[in-house]
């Protein structure tokens, strides 16, 4: 039996029935990382010592005959933008290359309290800005299904780690598509919860009106287990909401699924469309009512995002000043410390977004860009509000194309931005979305995106679990 192929629930049962120890399970994953990660580059740091000491505690507990919780002893990995106390947290940036996290993020505190085993920190685009992990200052994560292609991004390391059985589940973060898109490209389940469902305390900020933490897992059920563990109000994140996940038994039979035509427009790979249409057809056969609809303001979503996101970045990343933490270039004058530390520490994409944001917020341009983008954001939100009065869920592709070749879009920022064209609109409206593996083009996975209304992850997960069996 290959222990690394087990789901959370199967691994839990194995531990309870003493078929294997937590140390066996942890070592099996560490072995896989040693064997595979030289080629895949999913990890930035492997926390072997932490993992084995956590595993030992779980084994002692099992040895004493105590009951263990569902996530207890389950080996996971964490995107390197989320802080794990005492471990490096780089956000894949040179400016934080040697930064040691002084405390645990709230999601980590919750997972540690439940007894998980943390295998390491996973690769991301620098400060989670990108769609391929090619913007990481340290390495490019390869797609486990085809090593010449990207794993997607920004949470590419977290997606690839689950896909290649180098972690049982992982955490990532999604600002414009950074969980759903790599999940789609790597063929795993990825869930971006509703804005406010999960605390971001201890997640290195990218764009605060959008950032959200969520799980990658092998199955929908596993994603649900992790969501339940990390969701809820946290006094340290004022945008987090009092949200308790409640199981909901939705069935495809009788459910109304909206299919927005704007998500099958020009630019979509016909093979991707075929996979998604066939998934929709299967939902229909299982009894779902399919409603063709329009979300006309989606057209403005990408432009809206590339004003709001960089604007928030330009403010959030002002904290990297060469004084408080991270890389510091010595200089006589304070201003030069700022200029040189940031000039040397940030990579090309981060600089580009800081520049766009600073431009959009600068004197004379605010109304034309930032304010206009906020208005467009409201139109997009209203589109979805209207849609959810008519339907329960929306089905569309996650990405217009499957995993692309490494280097293919690296020098063309706009081409890279288009990778998130189907994941950004719902994010601007703060809605939850899940990527469900729906089929393949050759060896390359394609994900179906299931969007729900605010805090209706339960509906998404319930329908996804049913669909998972027939896809």
Partner 1 sequence: MITKEEVEHIAKLARLELTEKEIEKMQKDLSAILDYVNLLKKAPRAKEEHSNILKNVGMLDLDMMRKDEAVSQKREVVQKIIQASPDKKDDFIKVKSIL
CA–CA separation, 77 and 217 (whole Å): 11
297 has catalytic annotation: no
The distance of closest approach from Cβ of residue 247 to partner 1 in the complex, given in angstroms and rounded to an integer, is 24
Range 404-433, binding partner 1 (CB under 8 A): 413-414, 417, 428-430
Q: Which residue from 58, 108, 114, 373 is in contact with partner 1, where contact means CB under 8 A?
A: 373
The residue among 192, 73, 206, 193 whose CA lies nearest residue 447 is 192
The distance of closest approach from Cβ of residue 364 to partner 1 in the complex, given in angstroms and rounded to an integer, is 12
Contact 230, 265 (CB under 8 A): no
Q: Using CB under 8 A, which of the segments 7-15, 140-148, 177-185, 364-372 binds partner 1?
A: 364-372
Contact between 232 and partner 1 (CB under 8 A)?
A: no
Nearer to partner 1, 25 or 307 (CB): 307
Q: Using CB under 8 A, which of the segments 118-126, 212-220, 301-309, 463-471 binds partner 1?
A: 301-309
The distance of closest approach from Cβ of residue 157 to partner 1 in the complex, given in angstroms and rounded to an integer, is 23
- Tokens at 227, concatenated: 């969501």
Annotated catalytic residue within 93, 131, 136, 178? 178
Q: Using CB under 8 A, which of the segments 30-38, 257-265, 273-281, 372-380 binds partner 1?
A: 372-380
The residue among 85, 165, 167 whose CA lies nearest residue 122 is 167
199 has catalytic annotation: no
Q: Which residue from 152, 322, 400, 447 is in contact with partner 1, where contact means CB under 8 A?
A: 322
CA–CA separation, 16 and 55 (whole Å): 14
Nearer to partner 1, 389 or 469 (CB): 389
CA–CA separation, 180 and 175 (whole Å): 10
Contact between 103 and partner 1 (CB under 8 A)?
A: yes
Please write down the long-range contacts of 10-16, taking CB distance under 8 Å and 24 or more positions apart: 11/73, 11/74, 11/168, 12/68, 12/70, 12/71, 12/72, 12/73, 12/74, 15/58, 15/62, 15/68, 15/72, 15/73, 16/62, 16/68
Contact between 375 and partner 1 (CB under 8 A)?
A: yes
Q: How many residues does the chain have?
A: 471
What Å distances lie between residue 5 and 29, 71, 110, 387, CA to CA?
10, 16, 25, 39
Contact between 455 and partner 1 (CB under 8 A)?
A: no
CA–CA separation, 436 and 361 (whole Å): 37
Q: Which residue from 247, 335, 389, 469 is in contact with partner 1, where contact means CB under 8 A?
A: 335
The distance of closest approach from Cβ of residue 242 to partner 1 in the complex, given in angstroms and rounded to an integer, is 10
Nearer to partner 1, 39 or 319 (CB): 319
Under 8 Å CB-to-CB from 459, ≥6 apart: which residues?
A: 248, 250, 392, 393, 452, 453
CA–CA separation, 130 and 1 (whole Å): 37
Nearer to partner 1, 218 or 342 (CB): 342
First to last CA, the chain: 25
Q: Which residue from 91, 356, 393, 448 is in contact with partner 1, where contact means CB under 8 A?
A: 356
Range 61-90, binding partner 1 (CB under 8 A): none
Size of the site for partner 1 (CB under 8 A): 67
Contact 439, 470 (CB under 8 A): no
The distance of closest approach from Cβ of residue 105 to partner 1 in the complex, given in angstroms and rounded to an integer, is 13
Contact between 265 and partner 1 (CB under 8 A)?
A: no
Nearer to partner 1, 10 or 209 (CB): 209
The phi and psi torsions of 152 (rounded to 5 degrees) equal 85, 180
Beta bridge partners of 44: none
CA–CA separation, 311 and 418 (whole Å): 19
Q: Which residue from 306, 388, 395, 401 is in contact with partner 1, where contact means CB under 8 A?
A: 306
CA–CA separation, 396 and 422 (whole Å): 8
Contact between 100 and partner 1 (CB under 8 A)?
A: yes
Residue 324 host element (H or E): none
CA–CA separation, 403 and 445 (whole Å): 8
Q: Which residue from 48, 97, 299, 408 is in contact with partner 1, where contact means CB under 8 A?
A: 299
Burial readout 183-214 (b: 16 or more C-beta within 10 A, e: otherwise):
bbbbbbbbbbbbbbbbbbbbbbbbbebbbbbb
The distance of closest approach from Cβ of residue 38 to partner 1 in the complex, given in angstroms and rounded to an integer, is 30
Q: Using CB under 8 A, which of the segments 41-49, 74-82, 174-182, 317-325 binds partner 1?
A: 317-325
Contact between 304 and partner 1 (CB under 8 A)?
A: yes
Contact 152, 170 (CB under 8 A): no
121 has catalytic annotation: no
Annotated catalytic residue within 21, 93, 136, 154? 154
Query: Annotated active-site positions, please?
Result: 79, 154, 178
Where along the sequence are the contacts to partner 1 (CB under 8 A)? Answer: 99-100, 102-103, 195-196, 209, 235, 238-239, 297, 299-300, 302-304, 306-307, 314, 318, 321-328, 333-335, 337-340, 342-344, 346, 348, 351-352, 354-359, 362, 368-369, 371-379, 381, 413-414, 417, 428-430
């Amino acid at each position: 039996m290959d222990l690394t192929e087990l789901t959370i629930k199967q691994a839990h049962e194995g531990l309870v029935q003493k078929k294997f120890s937590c140390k066996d399970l942890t070592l099996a994953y560490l072995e896989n990382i040693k064997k595979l990660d030289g080629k895949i580059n999913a990890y930035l740091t492997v926390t072997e010592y932490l993992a084995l000491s956590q595993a030992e505690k779980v084994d002692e507990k099992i040895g004493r005959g105590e009951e263990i919780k569902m996530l207890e002893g389950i080996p996971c990995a964490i995107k390197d933008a989320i802080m794990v106390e005492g471990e490096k947290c780089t956000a894949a940036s040179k400016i934080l290359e040697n930064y040691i996290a002084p405390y645990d993020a709230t999601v980590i505190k919750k997972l540690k309290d439940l007894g998980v085993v943390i295998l390491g920190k996973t690769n991301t685009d620098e400060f989670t800005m990108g769609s391929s992990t090619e913007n990481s200052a340290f390495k490019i994560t390869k797609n486990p299904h085809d090593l010449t292609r990207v794993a997607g991004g920004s949470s590419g390391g977290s997606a690839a780690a689950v896909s290649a059985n180098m972690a049982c589940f992982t955490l990532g973060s999604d600002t414009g598509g950074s969980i759903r898109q790599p999940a789609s490209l790597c063929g795993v389940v990825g869930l971006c919860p509703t804005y406010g469902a999960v605390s971001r305390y201890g997640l290195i900020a990218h764009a605060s009106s959008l950032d959200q933490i969520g799980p990658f897992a092998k199955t929908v059920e596993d994603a649900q287990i992790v969501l339940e563990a990390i969701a809820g109000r946290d006094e340290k994140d004022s945008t987090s909401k009092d949200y308790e996940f409640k199981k909901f038994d939705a069935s495809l039979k009788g459910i109304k699924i909206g299919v927005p035509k704007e998500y099958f427009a020009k630019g979509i790979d016909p093979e991707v469309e075929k996979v998604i249409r066939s998934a929709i057809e299967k939902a229909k056969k299982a009894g779902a009512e399919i409603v063709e609809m329009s979300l006309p303001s989606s057209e403005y979503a990408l432009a809206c995002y590339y004003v709001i996101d960089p604007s928030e970045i330009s403010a959030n990343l002002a904290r990297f000043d060469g004084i408080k933490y991270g890389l510091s270039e010595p200089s006589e004058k304070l201003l030069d410390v700022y200029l040189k530390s940031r000039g040397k520490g940030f990579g090309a994409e981060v600089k580009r977004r800081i520049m766009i944001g600073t431009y959009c917020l600068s004197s004379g341009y605010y109304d034309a860009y930032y304010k206009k983008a906020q208005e467009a954001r409201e139109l997009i939100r209203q589109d979805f509000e209207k849609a959810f009065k008519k339907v329960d869920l929306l089905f569309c592709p996650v990405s217009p194309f499957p995993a692309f070749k490494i280097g293919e879009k690296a020098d063309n920022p706009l081409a890279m931005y288009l990778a998130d064209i189907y994941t950004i609109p719902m994010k601007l409206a703060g809605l939850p979305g899940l990527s469900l593996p729906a089929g393949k083009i050759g060896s390359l996975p394609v994900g179906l995106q299931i969007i729900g209304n605010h805090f209706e992850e339960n509906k998404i997960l319930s329908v996804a679990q049913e669909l998972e069996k027939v896809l």
